[in-house]
Structure 1
Amino acid sequence: MRKEDLRIVYMGTPDFAVESLRVLVENGYNVVGVVTMPDKPIGRHGSVLQSSPVKQYAESKGLPVLQPEKLKDETFLTQLKDWNADLQIVVAFRMLPEVVWDMPRLGTFNLHASLLPQYRGAAPINWAVINGDNETGATTFFLTHEIDTGKIILQRRLPIADTDDVGTVHDSLMQMGAKLVTDTVDLLLAGKVDVVSQEDFYKDLSELRPAPKIFKDTCHINWNQPVKKIYDFIRGLSPYPAAWTELVAVDGSRQVLKIYQTEKRLVNHDISVGTICTDKKSYIDIAVEDGYLRLLSLQLAGKKRMNVTDFLNGNKQIGDYTVE
Structure 2
Amino acid sequence: MKKLNIVFMGTPEFAVTILDTLYKSTEVNVVACITAPDKPAGRGQKINQSAVKQYTLEHDIPCLQPTNLKDENFIGNLKAINADLFVVVAFRMLPEVVWSMPPKGTINLHGSLLPQYRGAAPINWAVINGEKETGVTTFFIEKEIDTGMVIEREAIAIGENETAGELHDRLMHLGAKLTLQSVLKISSGEFEAIDQSQLTEEELKPAPKIFKPDCAINFDWDVQQIHNFVRGMSPYPTAWFTMHNTKADNNKTFKVFKTTLHSSKANEVPALIELDGKLILALRTGSLEIHEIQMEGKKRLTAQQFMQGYRPEEWEITL
TM-score, structure 2 length as denominator? 0.95
Deviations 1:18-71 (A, max 9, x none): 0110011111320110000111321125x3110000110111100011111111
The number of equivalent residue pairs is 316
Query: CA–CA distance in 1 between the matches of 2:188 and 2:24?
Result: 20
For residue 273 of structure 1, report the CA deviation from its aligned partner. 2.9
2:228 alignment counterpart: 232
Query: CA–CA distance in 2 between the matches of 1:311 and 1:232?
Result: 22
Query: CA–CA distance in 1 between the matches of 2:177 and 2:286?
Result: 42
In terms of mean alpha carbon deviation, does 187-196 or 135-144 score higher? 187-196
TM-score, structure 1 length as denominator? 0.94
> Contact 1:296/1:307 (CA < 8 Å) preserved in 2?
yes
> Contact 1:225/1:288 (CA < 8 Å) preserved in 2?
no
SS of the residue corresponding to residue 233 of structure 2 reads coil
In terms of mean alpha carbon deviation, does 149-158 or 20-29 score higher? 20-29
Query: CA–CA distance in 1 between the matches of 2:20 and 2:304?
Result: 40
1:2 alignment counterpart: 2
Task: Report matched runs for 1:165-244 at 5 Å.
Answer: 165-203=163-201, 207-244=203-240
Matched, 1:36 2:35: yes
1:310 alignment counterpart: 305
Query: CA–CA distance in 1 between the matches of 2:277 and 2:305?
Result: 9
Match of 2:117 among 108, 116, 119: 119
1:143 alignment counterpart: 141
Query: CA–CA distance in 2 between the matches of 1:268 and 1:48?
Result: 50
> Contact 2:270/2:284 (CA < 8 Å) preserved in 1?
no
For residue 302 of structure 1, report the CA deviation from its aligned partner. 1.7
For residue 197 of structure 1, report the CA deviation from its aligned partner. 0.2
Query: CA–CA distance in 1 between the matches of 2:86 and 2:138?
Result: 12
Task: Report matched runs for 1:60-71 at 5 Å.
Answer: 60-71=58-69
Match of 1:288 among 260, 283, 287: 283
Q: Which amino acid aligns with 2:43?
A: R
Query: CA–CA distance in 2 between the matches of 1:313 and 1:86?
Result: 60
For residue 267 of structure 1, report the CA deviation from its aligned partner. 5.2
Task: Report matched runs for 1:256-267 at 5 Å.
Answer: 256-266=253-263
Match of 2:244 among 238, 244, 248: 248
Query: CA–CA distance in 2 between the matches of 1:163 and 1:258?
Result: 17
Query: CA–CA distance in 2 between the matches of 1:277 and 1:308?
Result: 11
For residue 147 of structure 1, report the CA deviation from its aligned partner. 0.2
Paired-residue identity, %: 46
Q: Which runs of 5+ in 2 are unaligned?
A: none
> Contact 2:16/2:55 (CA < 8 Å) preserved in 1?
yes
Cα RMSD of the aligned pairs, angstroms, is: 1.5
> Contact 2:133/2:156 (CA < 8 Å) preserved in 1?
yes
Deviations 1:49-108 (A, max 9, x none): 100001101111000111111110111111111111110000010110100000000010
2:315 alignment counterpart: 321
